[in-house]
Structure 1
């Protein structure tokens, strides 16, 4: 009898664990990289593609390699490229959001040292779901030189 009770308890725990995993599925982070920077350059940029199984919003990013990180959009208006800081970046369920040169991107401010090709930079990304729950994800991005 006790064995049966323990098996049922274990099964219930596994079901709870599985439902929690599905409720808070991680955002898939792909094509991630940081642009190499020049000596003395105090700003940098990072790019990646975000894909989520549920609607989430990217609300915060940080790295030890910069004093601050902001989400930015770039648009062309009357022949002039305009860059705007964004408080949050929505990631709709099942629709990849691409951060790439000339469009959405991460700006890294007050770099203590330049980014050199071949280095690895660790980031923490914070996502908020529809229920208001914040989930942290970590990624290490390679630094690449761009011709």
Structure 2
């Protein structure tokens, strides 16, 4: 009985170690708020890995589909495309930001409102093929709020309009 208990504990410890969070620091994680009926939005953050890893998958319970995307200029046209993995070189900060690499949350299950917190799970893969996960809590920011990299539209003066 004692041997079975020790074996079980060792197996659980090994399993927990394999699923331990990656050695990646996440800063300033946020998601852009949506309007009613909007079906997609982006998540942004700064990632710094302690060892070379790749982000190979993203998940979020607020979206039916979550992918890593890249915005890039192609023949004078800005295009967005999915990337199957994003390298995080050791010690270098990789910024996921509007107009560059970002997490695309699609097939949203509901409106994402300013002030909400969206969980985003990042799946990392090391050079050895070992995978680990890290859950990030991303604050939802209104379009045009500080740090969203999108300026607010100027208020329009309606005082001269006859309506």
TM-score, normalization: structure 1?
A: 0.81
CA distance, structure 2, for counterparts of residue 144 and residue 54 of structure 1: 31
**What is the aligned partner in structure 1 of residue 113 from structure 2?**
116
- Structure 2: which 5+ runs fail to align? 1-16, 145-163
Asked whether the equivalents of residues 22 and 124 of structure 2 are also in contact (C-alpha less than 8 Å), the reply is no
**What is the aligned partner in structure 2 of residue 11 from structure 1?**
none
- Give the C-alpha shift of residue 137 in structure 1: 0.6
CA distance, structure 1, for counterparts of residue 135 and residue 143 of structure 2: 24
Of Structure 1 and Structure 2, which has the larger fraction of its residues in helix? Answer: 1
CA distance, structure 2, for counterparts of residue 42 and residue 25 of structure 1: 30
Match of 2:39 among 32, 42, 52: 42
2:124 matched to 1:127? yes
Displaced runs of 4 or more, over 2 A: none
**What is the aligned partner in structure 2 of residue 79 from structure 1?**
76
Question: 1:33-112 alignment to 2 at 5 Å?
Answer: 33-112=30-109
TM-score, normalization: structure 2?
A: 0.73
Asked whether the equivalents of residues 52 and 89 of structure 2 are also in contact (C-alpha less than 8 Å), the reply is yes
Aligned length: 125
Supply the RMSD in Å over aligned alpha carbons.
Answer: 1.4
Encode CA deviations 1:26-75: one digit per residue, 9 max, x unaligned: 10011110000111011111001110111000011101100010000001
In structure 2, relative to structure 1, the CA distance for the partners of 1:25 and 1:83 (3 Å cut) is closer
**What is the aligned partner in structure 2 of residue 14 from structure 1?**
none
- Structure 1: which 5+ runs fail to align? 1-19
